[in-house]
């Protein structure tokens, strides 16, 4: 089903009793477009025209298990993931996409494919930030579209000095340049940057939340969601997940989890 026809079907379903979102499911499509980040080493990075990273490999695995003969990738950001999914620009999103109740109102989530933990990255030599409480009064980078700073400010009531930034790659540039004191988000995101700049930054290793990274699908695509979960189950059971985690994060200091995560329900 091409994207123009899918949009027509989706609109038509709004006015028809018994017409379900499964009509426009990504399940069974010959070609799938997977949205990934282009600036997160280890997860999704675009270099010399090729996307590389853990989420790129997991997206390819899922798409193949769903029957796609052709898999292509498109860059998404934290700010435009929902829009690109729901206007049919991408079919699946794997982009450090933490599952939250608010986001689940806009999209359907498969997975999670990994449960990361929010942590903090600082410059090497920084000894004043040992845990999340130490962020009070310090300059914390706030990446556009991310919920990570909300978990610090709203969830824990800590008051850092927020420094807005369009992306986590820009946050890391600001950290390296001394414009912020810390970057806080899921540890898999931090691990990729920490590996790239290992002589200049470090992860505090004081996790304080769970980050359930989900596969975003268009809202109501239950059939697609169920097939995503089956593909993820196989990925963990046959050792593919462990191999990919070691491939992309084995050099980091993280303790990687290689057991099947507890999935969200598809609804």
Please tell me whether residue 81 adopts helix, strand or coil conformation. helix
Radius of gyration of the chain (CA): 19
Task: Write the burial class of residue 197 (CB in 10 Å: 0-12 exposed, 13-18 middle, 19+ buried).
Answer: middle
Percent of the chain clearing pLDDT 90 (strictly above): 81
Handedness of CA 95, 98, 102, 106 (dihedral sign): positive
Distance CA 242, CA 1 (A): 34
Distance CA 40, CA 42 (A): 6
Instruction: Number of helices (H) and strands (E) in the chain: give both, helices first.
Output: 9, 12
- Residue range 205-227: average pLDDT? 95
Q: Cα–chain-centroid distance for residue 19? A: 31
Helix 168-177 × helix 187-196 angle, to 10°: 50
pLDDT tens for 144-156 read 988 899 999 999 9
User: What is the pTM (predicted TM-score) of this model?
Assistant: 0.82
Q: Which residues contact 112 (CB under 8 A, 6 or more apart)?
A: 99, 212, 213, 214, 261, 263, 264
Q: Which two tokens stand for residue 103?
A: 């986001």
Ranking 4-8, 63-67, 233-237, 240-244 by mean pLDDT, the lowest is 4-8
- Cβ atoms < 10 Å from Cβ of 126: 18
Please tell me whether residue 84 adopts helix, strand or coil conformation. helix
Q: Which two tokens stand for residue 30?
A: 């010959």
Please tell me whether residue 263 adopts helix, strand or coil conformation. coil
pLDDT category of residue 255 using cuts at 50, 70 and 90: confident
Q: How many Cα atoms are found within 13 Å in the side-chain-facing hemisphere of 140? A: 25
User: Which stretches of 100-246 are assigned E, i.e. beta strand?
Assistant: 107-123, 139-143, 161-165, 183-186, 201-203, 209-218
pLDDT tens for 129-180 read 999 999 999 999 999 988 899 999 999 999 999 999 999 999 999 999 999 9
Q: Contact, 115 vs 212, CB < 8 A?
A: yes
Distance CA 181, CA 121 (A): 9
pLDDT of residue 103 exceeding 70, the answer is yes
- Spatial CA neighbour of 187 closest among 256, 128, 109, 130: 256
């Amino acid at each position: 089903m091409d994207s123009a026809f899918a949009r027509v079907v989706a609109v038509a379903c709004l006015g028809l009793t018994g017409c379900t979102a499964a009509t426009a499911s990504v399940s069974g499509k010959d070609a799938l477009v997977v949205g990934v980040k282009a600036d997160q080493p280890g997860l999704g990075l675009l270099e010399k025209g090729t996307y590389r990273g853990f989420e790129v490999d997991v997206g390819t695995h899922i798409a193949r298990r769903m029957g796609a003969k052709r898999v292509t990738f498109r860059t998404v950001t934290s700010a435009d993931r929902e829009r690109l999914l729901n206007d049919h620009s991408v079919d699946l999103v794997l982009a450090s996409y933490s599952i939250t109740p608010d986001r689940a109102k806009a999209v359907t989530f498969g997975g999670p494919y990994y449960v990361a933990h929010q942590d903090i990255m600082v410059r090497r030599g920084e000894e004043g930030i040992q845990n999340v409480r130490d962020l009070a009064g310090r300059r914390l980078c706030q990446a556009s579209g991310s919920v990570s700073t909300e978990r610090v400010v709203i969830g824990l009531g800590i008051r850092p000095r927020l420094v807005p930034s369009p992306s986590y790659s820009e946050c890391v540039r600001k950290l390296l340049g001394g414009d912020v004191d810390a970057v806080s988000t899921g540890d898999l995101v931090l691990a990729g940057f920490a590996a790239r700049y290992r002589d200049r930054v470090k992860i505090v290793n004081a996790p304080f939340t769970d980050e359930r990274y989900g596969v975003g699908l268009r809202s109501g695509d239950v059939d697609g969601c169920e097939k995503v979960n089956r593909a993820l189950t196989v990925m963990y059971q046959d050792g593919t997940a462990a191999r990919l985690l070691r491939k992309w994060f084995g050099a980091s200091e993280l303790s990687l989890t290689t057991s099947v995560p507890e999935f969200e329900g598809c609804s």
